[in-house]
Amino acid sequence: MSGQDETRQLLRAIPSVEALLNEPAIARFTERMDRARLRDHLRRILGDLRKDIQEGRWNHPGETIVPEIVRRLRDHIALVHQPSLRRLINATGVVIHTNLGRAPLAEEAVEAMVDVARHYANLEYDLSEGRRGRRDVHCERWLIELLGCQAALVVNNCAAAVLLTLNTLAEGGEVIVSRGELVEIGGSFRIPDIMAKSGAILREVGTTNRTRLSDYENAINENTRLLLRVHQSNFRITGFTEQPPLDELVRLGRQYGLPCYHDLGGGCLVDVSAWGIHDEPRVQDSLRAGVSLCSFSGDKLLGGPQAGVIVGERALVDRLRRNPLMRTVRPDKLTLAALEATLRLYYSGRAETEVPVLSMLRSPVDALRRRARRFIRRGRQLCPHIRFHLRPGASVPGGGTAPDARVETVLIAVDVPSFPADAVEQRLRAHDPPILARIEDDRVVLDLRTVRPDEERTILDAFAAMS
């Protein structure tokens, strides 16, 4: 038989779409999608298969054509139905990784979210009065309990908190801020840009490394509305530096009748210095210094969902609430449920063990070494061709937390024979679920600090598949 005849015969062996839809192995895909969608997938696959046959890339016996179609259909469906946003395993040791969705939530926060997601909720309904209520009460009482502040407000993220605060308190007026604090947080959040969008006028004082109280005082005029301090989250200015303490700035503000607003970013509520993270101010410290308002993220050191929290004086928070912009930055019920559950964990004193960001950061290096040893023992059994060994290293808190903070850890360095480090890294990333690792000194290294114990097996399986 000539090649052409063979090709024609193979093409004729391809069943019609309708006939294929009655094949049990194909019909069962209708459990997960409607027939129209399945028909579309089949057409595409048959088109590709015809092309492969015509161009000589597929020339197996005709009776294997249906199994081939089923196999191609399964792969195609798995690929195109894969969600875009997927969970992954973070073995980088960067605890609050903005690109990886920052804080994984506490179990109770997840449950609270699922509960209100599945059902109706009293989001804006006052159950005792039987009438319309306010969505911003749900987290406020926990924040007041925890921080001793007068009032609190939750918005979608801390950038929104800054925008709302500047717009409410200083639109058309001046805001005084040190040149050393005109920060870019990443993702193009720059204080001068946000300031411009808020309608407030930036009045920068001092120099990058030194700003004195007198610099602020000299800039105060009848147009001044606010003294702003921005926490230098993701960088440090060291050496010949000067910055007035927060309480002095507060005192200066009081002298001139100006509120002092501290954009903290981090949202740290507990003492983290024992874990190797120094100079991370707590929200309580900021409030104790007397600031009128303070803002922070929900998903950085606080360990909750993406949110921006503003706490402080009742009169000012009420003004923020009444700003029409509030409607554009209000959080949804899922965020509020997760944030409230996270705050309740702080309230009951269980945050350090139950909030993943905190429990990961406080995980002692000895415990990590034990886990790493066990991981390596299992690794040597499952993938004898791969070399694993321990090496000292550092985890990174991340998320705008003190940039020089390094938390001592134990790393697992991995050598896969005949795979260069970037190929190993790439294979881990292509795994399902994807696994993200670091490369250090031309080796893939894993930091179990950010890996859940129940994810270790998945990582080992990914290595076992490399040979």
Instruction: Indicate whether 265 belongs to the interface with ligand PLP (CB under 6 A).
Output: yes
Q: Which residues of 390-412 are buried (b: 16+ CB within 10 A; e: fewer)?
A: eeebebbbbbbbbeebebebbbb
- Ranges within 356-415 binding ligand PLP (CB under 6 A): 400
Nearer to ligand PLP, 261 or 388 (CB): 261
Measured CA to CA in angstroms, residue 240 lies from 135, 211, 249, 347 at distances of: 47, 11, 20, 40
DSSP for 155-168? Answer: ES-HHHHHHHHHHH
In 81-186, alpha helices (H)? 107-118, 137-147, 158-170
- What tokens were used for 103? 């804080």
Task: Supply the minimum distance, in Å, between the C-beta of residue 139 and ligand PLP.
Answer: 15
Task: Supply the minimum distance, in Å, between the C-beta of residue 283 and ligand PLP.
Answer: 12
Nearest to 226 by CA among 162, 295, 170: 170
Task: Supply the minimum distance, in Å, between the C-beta of residue 18 and ligand PLP.
Answer: 53
Instruction: Indicate whether 231 belongs to the interface with ligand PLP (CB under 6 A).
Output: yes
User: Which range touches ligand PLP (CB under 6 A), out of 63-71, 228-236, 355-363, 386-394?
Assistant: 228-236
Minimal CB distance to ligand PLP: which residue? 265
Which 3 state secondary structure label does DSSP give 67?
A: helix
- Ranges within 232-251 binding ligand PLP (CB under 6 A): 233
- Ranges within 47-106 binding ligand PLP (CB under 6 A): none
Task: Supply the minimum distance, in Å, between the C-beta of residue 145 and ligand PLP.
Answer: 23
Task: Supply the minimum distance, in Å, between the C-beta of residue 233 and ligand PLP.
Answer: 3
Task: Supply the minimum distance, in Å, between the C-beta of residue 191 and ligand PLP.
Answer: 8
Nearer to ligand PLP, 230 or 428 (CB): 230
User: Which range touches ligand PLP (CB under 6 A), out of 27-35, 155-163, 273-281, 402-410?
Assistant: 155-163
Nearer to ligand PLP, 152 or 386 (CB): 152
Task: Supply the minimum distance, in Å, between the C-beta of residue 275 and ligand PLP.
Answer: 19
Instruction: Out of 92, 224, 297, 450, name the contact with ligand PLP by CB under 6 A.
Output: 297
Task: Supply the minimum distance, in Å, between the C-beta of residue 89 and ligand PLP.
Answer: 23
Instruction: Indicate whether 312 belongs to the interface with ligand PLP (CB under 6 A).
Output: no
The dihedral through the CA atoms of 158, 162, 165, 171 has a sign that is negative
Task: Supply the minimum distance, in Å, between the C-beta of residue 182 and ligand PLP.
Answer: 11
* Tokens 């700035």 sit on residue: 249
Other C-beta atoms lying within 10 Å of the C-beta of residue 272: 23
Task: Supply the minimum distance, in Å, between the C-beta of residue 413 and ligand PLP.
Answer: 32
User: Which range touches ligand PLP (CB under 6 A), out of 121-129, 153-161, 211-219, 368-376?
Assistant: 153-161
For 327, phi and psi rounded to 5 degrees? -65, -25
Other C-beta atoms lying within 10 Å of the C-beta of residue 258: 22
**Separation of alpha carbons 70 and 68, rounded Å:** 5
Task: Supply the minimum distance, in Å, between the C-beta of residue 15 and ligand PLP.
Answer: 54
Q: What angle do CA 255, 258, 263 make, to 5 degrees?
A: 125
Instruction: Collect all residues with Cβ–Cβ distance below 8 Å to 147 and sequence separation of at least 6.
Output: 269, 283, 284, 287, 311
For 222, phi and psi rounded to 5 degrees? -70, -15
Nearer to ligand PLP, 169 or 220 (CB): 169
Number of residues engaging ligand PLP in binding (CB under 6 A): 14
Instruction: Indicate whether 230 belongs to the interface with ligand PLP (CB under 6 A).
Output: yes
Measured CA to CA in angstroms, residue 384 lies from 73, 279, 433, 465 at distances of: 35, 45, 23, 12
Burial class (CB in 10 A: 0-12, 13-18, 19+), 313: middle
What are the residues facing 282 on neighbouring strands? 268
User: Which range touches ligand PLP (CB under 6 A), out of 85-93, 151-159, 236-244, 422-430?
Assistant: 151-159
DSSP for 394-418? Answer: EEEEETTS-TT--EEEEEEEEE-TT
- What tokens were used for 81? 């139905």
Binding mask 417-446 vs ligand PLP (x if CB under 6 A, - otherwise)? Answer: ------------------------------
Nearer to ligand PLP, 17 or 325 (CB): 325
Instruction: Out of 263, 280, 340, 354, name the contact with ligand PLP by CB under 6 A.
Output: 263
- What tokens were used for 301? 């050191």
Instruction: Indicate whether 308 belongs to the interface with ligand PLP (CB under 6 A).
Output: yes
- Ranges within 156-195 binding ligand PLP (CB under 6 A): 157-159, 162, 185, 189
List residues near ligand PLP by CB under 6 A.
157-159, 162, 185, 189, 230-231, 233, 263, 265, 297, 308, 400
